[in-house]
Amino acid sequence: MTLQLGDVAPDFNADTSEGRIDFHDWLGDSWAVLFSHPKDFTPICTTELGYVAKIKPEFDRRGVKVIGLSVDSSERHEKWADDIEKTQGTRPNFPMISDTDFNVSKLYGMLPASAAGTYSGPSRYRWVTRPCPDGSGLLTRRSVVPNALDRSPREPATLIRRVVA
Using the Cα atoms of residue 50, residue 81, residue 67 and residue 56 in order, give the sign of their dihedral.
Answer: negative
Rounded Cα distance, 6 and 140, in Å: 6
Q: Torsions phi, psi of 21, nearest 5?
A: -130, 155
Residues β-bridged to residue 98:
15, 70
Q: Torsions phi, psi of 36, nearest 5?
A: -110, 135
User: At a CB cut-off of 8 Å and minimum separation 6, what does 133 contact?
Assistant: none
Which amino acid type is present at position 147?
N
Among residues 45, 52, 64, 66, the one annotated as catalytic is: 45
The answer to whether 132 is a known catalytic residue is no
- The β-bridge relationship of strands 96-98 and 13-16 is antiparallel
* Active site members: 45
